[in-house]
Amino acid sequence: MSNFNAIRPGTNLSQYAQELTRVHDAVLSGMRTSGRPRALVARSWHRVLQSGLDASRRNGRDPLSLEEVLRRRTESPLNLVIDDLVRVVSGVADASRFLMVVADADGVVLWRAGSTSVKLHADSLGFSEGAVWTEEVVGTNAIGTALAEAAPVQLFSAEHYEQAQHPWYCTASPIHDPRTGALLGIVDVSGPAMTLHPAIGALVETAVRLAESQLWRHHEQRLDRLRKSAEHVLATVQGPVLVVDDHGWVAHHSGISARDRIAVPRADTALTIPGMGICLPERLADGWLVRPASGPRAIGAVLDLTGSPTLEVQSAGDPWRVPLGQRHAEILQLLHAAGGAGLTAGQLSRALYGDTEHLVTVRAEISRMRRSIGALIATKPYRLADGVDLTVLHRLV
């Protein structure tokens, strides 16, 4: 049996529920038992036992206020696809026997759809809008365990930690942002345990695929609207140019090979883009116009170490200054000394930490630096971007 499927086809659900109850009671009381929970369930029970939750009672799940639920709904990208998800449920003949629940990435229940009678049973369990259904709060459950495992989860009867949840099955799967891979929330279908059908897993999988495809469609529509809104500006621009949204996704390109995404634009912060060189983003109503900087095609930068480290950048626009931490100042000095050859993550790790065991840390530091000083640092290998002329001012000894 896979981690996802809680039952095999043809399973006698009533008998299997009794077996799981015996396993649940034995494991949680520390007694020996011939049966064992699935590996997924065992991991979850171990986490929940460590947190000290009592399986014999309904643990706290005081719901968030209606105002907070509405705020989270409004800010959630899933707000764009919730109607599509509800239609998936309403189009299933057995919708009267289950409940679809959508939670955000914090495990907060934001939407429910399905049977009124099942909703009433869910209310008595605290499975309602605004409730937090993480493992830490309510024990092993499909929403919380899917968050903990970062994977689809199906639970049947006494695989749930709390005894109050044993009359239920639940099937949940994460939804991710199709652009970035970021976790947006969880889709769950739950109902009376004795009504679990193998098709429930396929229903949840279909709902997730639909949601992610619709999110991508909304993304493409936003880019199309941005491109159309910028047409009057583009008509006056010659040479290579990009129109991008606030996250760097490209809505239009001309005079340059097609790109999907660039670094996130920031006002008065230079970007280095292959095929375009040094660019300064210009704000549009709903995005950014990105084209090669006019005037000198070089950026002069001064790393001032005479006091607290600062970086001052002078390019085609007004100069701007940003404070740097000691570690970022040290990285800039190393890249400056390396010249055009640059340094690999391993070389930077050895120079900064004395070994090559800190590759992840180095990459994270470079990523943070690029967010604060734009693309003055190029990658593969790490180096000062073409056209950046860095001067280092040292404290006089």
Q: What is the 3-state secondary structure (H, E, C) of the chain?
A: CCCCCCCCCCCCHHHHHHHHHHHHHHHHHCCCCCCCCCHHHHHHHHHHHHHCCCCCCCCCCCCCCHHHHHHHHHHCHHHHCHHHHHHHHHCCHHHHHCEEEEEECCCEEEEEEECHHHHHHHHHHCCCCCCECCHHHHCCCHHHHHHHHCCCEEEEHHHCCCHHHCCEEEEEEEEECCCCCCEEEEEEEEEEHHHCCCHHHHHHHHHHHHHHHHHHHHHHHHHHHHHHHCHHHHCCCCCCEEEECCCCEEEEEECCCCCCECCCCCCCCCEEECCCEEECCEECCCCEEECECCCCCCEEEEEECCCCCEEEEECCCCCEEEECCHHHHHHHHHHHHHHHHCECHHHHHHHHHCCCCCHHHHHHHHHHHHHHHHHHEECCCEEECCCEEEEEECCCC
Any idea which fold 299-393 has?
Arc Repressor Mutant, subunit A (1.10.10)
Mean pLDDT for all residues in the chain:
88
Q: 219-229, pLDDT tens digit by residue?
A: 999 999 999 99
Which is more confidently placed, 269 or 104?
Answer: 104
Q: Using pLDDT thresholds of 50, 70 and 90, give the confidence band for residue 2.
A: very low
Which is more confidently placed, 294 or 384?
Answer: 384
- Among residues of the chain, what percentage have pLDDT more than 70? 92
Q: Using pLDDT thresholds of 50, 70 and 90, give the confidence band for residue 1.
A: very low
Task: Answer yes or no: CATH 3.30.450.40 is held by domain 13-220.
Answer: yes
Q: Would you list the domain boundaries of the chain?
A: 13-220, 230-290, 299-393
Q: 126-147, pLDDT tens digit by residue?
A: 999 999 999 999 999 999 999 9
Q: 242-261, pLDDT tens digit by residue?
A: 999 998 999 999 888 767 88
Q: Which stretch, 20-24, 83-87, 355-359, has highest mean pLDDT?
A: 20-24
Residue 103 has pLDDT above 80, yes or no: yes
Q: Which stretch, 69-73, 311-315, 367-371, has highest mean pLDDT?
A: 69-73
Do the domains spanning 13-220 and 299-393 agree at the CATH topology level? no
Q: For residue 112, what pLDDT is reported?
A: 94
Q: 275-307, pLDDT tens digit by residue?
A: 777 788 889 888 999 988 765 556 778 999 898
Q: 152-175, pLDDT tens digit by residue?
A: 999 999 999 999 999 999 999 999
Q: For residue 58, what pLDDT is reported?
A: 75
